[in-house]
A = this chain, B = another copy of it.
Amino acid sequence: MTPVKNSPLVRKLSAFVALSEAELAVLDHLHQRRRTFLAGRDLVHQGQSEQAAYILSAGWVCSYKLQPDGTRQIVDFQIPGDFLGLRSVLLRTSDHSFEPLTDIQAAEVLKGDLLDAFTHTPRLAMAVLWAASRDEAMVVEHLVGIGRRNAEARMAHFLLELASRLALVGMGSREGYDCPLTQYHLADALGLSAVHVNRVLRQLRENGLVTFRDGHVSIHDHEGLIKLGEFDPAYLDQDGPLVR
C-alpha cells in the first residue's frame, strides 16, 4: 500500500468511485510537490492570476472575499482532501483569496500535470469534476443558509456539514471533531457578528445540542441539531456519475 492510498483526497474520492491502480498512481504523481504554508499568510490574493492549484493534505484553509468597507465574507473552508484554486488554474484569475487557518501541507499541482492526468485517466477527471461540483453545491447551500435561516439554524447546519465532510476523510465522527476555527471565522462565514456567534454557541450548548470549546466540537444531540438546522445531507452524499 503506497502512502497516497491513505491521503485524504483518495479517501474522499474512494467513497464514491472505485479507483484503479493506474488512477491511484496518477494521483500519487500529483502529490509529488509537497509544500508547507504558515497559518495566516495568504496563499492567493484576490485578483491575482495564478498558475498552480493545490491539493490540501493537512490543515485548514478558508477562501474569502474582502469588501471595500473592510468586512469579509468567508465563502468556504477547505479541509484535507480538498482542492485549492482548481478553477482558477483551469479557467480564470482567482476571484477570491485563500488563507491558511493553521499551518498546512499541500501538494502543488501544475496546470500541465493536471491536464495530462485528465487526458490519460478520464475517469479521474470525472471524479475530480464531481468533487468540484460537490463544492459548488456546498456554496449554494451556504447561500440558502445565509439568506433564509436564522443564526441558530445556520450554526447548526454549518457544524453538521463540517462533521459530515470531516468524517469522510477520517477526521471525526458523529460525536464530534477537532476544529481550529475561531468565533471570528464563524462570524465571517455565517454572515453574523462575532458577538452574536458567541451567544448562539452558548444557546446551543445550554440546550444540550452541541459544545464548541477549546478547538473541539462535541455533538451531544445529533437528531436535535439536524432538526434545528434543517440539515439534509443529500447535497453532500449524492452519487457521482461513475458508480451508476
- The 8 A CB mask of A144-161 against B (1 = contact, 0 = none) is 101111000000000000
6 A-B Cβ contacts within 8 A? A73-B147, A92-B133, A92-B239, A95-B234, A146-B147, A146-B191
Closest residue to A72 on the B side, CB-wise?
B148
Say whether B140 contacts A95, CB under 8 Å: yes
A67-B230, A92-B240 are known contacts. Are A136 and B136 too (CB-CB below 8 A)? yes
Whether, in the assembled complex, A183 has its beta carbon less than 8 Å from a beta carbon of chain B, the answer is no
Say whether A133 contacts B91, CB under 8 Å: yes
Chain B hits for A144, CB < 8 A: 65, 67, 73, 75
Chain B hits for A96, CB < 8 A: 140
Chain B hits for A95, CB < 8 A: 137, 140, 234-235, 238
- The 8 A CB mask of A57-97 against B (1 = contact, 0 = none) is 00000000101110111010000000000010011110110
Chain B hits for A129, CB < 8 A: 90-91
Closest residue to A192 on the B side, CB-wise?
B147
Q: Which 4 A-B pairs have the closest CB atoms?
A: A147-B191, A73-B144, A73-B147, A91-B133
**How many residues of chain A have a CB within 8 Å of chain B?**
41
Chain B hits for A239, CB < 8 A: 92
Chain A 178-206 residues near chain B, CB threshold 8 A? 190-191
Whether, in the assembled complex, A25 has its beta carbon less than 8 Å from a beta carbon of chain B, the answer is no
A68, A87, A91, most chain B CB atoms within 10 A = A91
Say whether B133 contacts A139, CB under 8 Å: no
Whether, in the assembled complex, A208 has its beta carbon less than 8 Å from a beta carbon of chain B, the answer is no
Whether, in the assembled complex, A37 has its beta carbon less than 8 Å from a beta carbon of chain B, the answer is no
Closest residue to A145 on the B side, CB-wise?
B73
Q: Closest approach, in angstroms, between the C-beta of A26 and any C-beta of chain B?
A: 20
